[in-house]
Amino acid sequence: DVTIVEFLDRALPNEDADVSKEIEKQYKKLGVTIKTGAAVQSIDDDGSKVTVSIKNNKSGDIETVVVDKVMQSVGFAPRVEGYGLEKTGVQLDRGAIGITDTMQTSVPHIYAIGDVTMKLQLAHVAEAQGVVAAETIAGVETLPIEDYRMMPRATFCQPQVASFGLTEQQAKDEGYDVKVATFPFTANGKAHGLGDPTGCVKLIADKKYGELLGGHLIGPDVSELLPELTLAQKWDLTVNELARNVHTHPTLSEALQEAIHGLAGHMINF
């Protein structure tokens, strides 16, 4: 048996709410218990078993769970001490190294990339930052990273979760008149061929201008589907322009095609 304890009110709280609902549904099918709105109070390992006390954030009730192993995953912290950074005069921003959109620190000849900047703690983001820093140092044209929310993100659970941009709620909170289209993998032939027709593709766009605001995917190998969406967003393709892109059949990417056509107002096969 597996029990997941999440302090906030839903699983994967940084993802779109519909993705959270789907992952909770799929994990329930697997027999995984997810306790949301809860906090671990104590962990007691006697060598043969581990006793965990869990507090419900709303009621204050304490529940005890006895397990074989405990795995803790509580986020990242930047490593900014122990290698002489304090001697350089580089300024910190809430414990991380402050940078511009070209990775320059407060000391003009010092650049920083990766987890020490606490922008988005992902390897591919650090790589992208490194490219921008190198191009800036070399004095060649570069593309500054202005909005880290538009970076692709993936959670390699089962089923996979992948996303970029704004959630539906975030887009509404920012004042967008949103249009949403969702296409399920139960209607995708390749997903059935793989024996894993779970999850969906959910896309969010600005209704007025057709701008792609975010994509939220859960299902088989969905992390492989993000680059098409992030490229379209990066170069300001509208939904109607993106809908003209032809996708190979049968592929998982057809789920993207269908959701994009849904935003444009005319799904083809659903």
Provide the residue ranges of all domains of the chain, joining segments of one domain with +.
3-67, 85-138, 150-264
Q: What is the pTM of this model?
A: 0.93
Q: What is the pLDDT of residue 75?
A: 81
- Whether 261 is a known active-site residue: answer no
Dump pLDDT digits (tens) for 197-244: 999 999 999 999 999 999 999 999 999 999 999 999 999 999 999 999
Signed CA dihedral, 27, 28, 31, 37: sign only: positive
Dump pLDDT digits (tens) for 103-121: 999 999 999 999 999 999 9
Mean pLDDT over 33-47 rounds to 97
Q: What is the pLDDT of residue 100?
A: 98
Dump pLDDT digits (tens) for 250-259: 999 999 999 9
CA distance 269 to 52: 49
The hierarchical CATH code for the domain 150-264 is 3.30.390.30
Report which residue type is found at 75: G
Residue 50: which residues within 8 A CB-CB, separation 6 or more?
43, 44, 66, 67, 68, 69, 70
Largest CA distance in the chain: 62
Name the class of domain 3-67: alpha beta
Dump pLDDT digits (tens) for 142-194: 999 999 999 999 999 999 999 999 999 999 999 999 999 999 999 999 999 99
Secondary structure, 3-state, the chain: CCEEEECCCCCCCCCCHHHHHHHHHHHHHCCCEEEECEEEEEEEECCCCEEEEEEECCCCCEEEEEECCCCCCCCCCCCCCCCCHHHCCCCEECCEECCCCCCECCCCCCECCHHHHCCCCCHHHHHHHHHHHHHHHHCCCCCCCCCHHHCCEEECCCCEEEEEECCHHHHHHCCCCEEEEEEEHHHCHHHHHCCCCCCEEEEEEECCCCEEEEEEEEECCHHHHHHHHHHHHHCCCEHHHHCCCCCCCCCCHHHHHHHHHHHHCCCCCC
Options 192, 249, 261, 266, the catalytic residue: 249
- Assess contact for 219 and 246: CB atoms under 8 A: no
Q: What is the pLDDT of residue 115?
A: 96
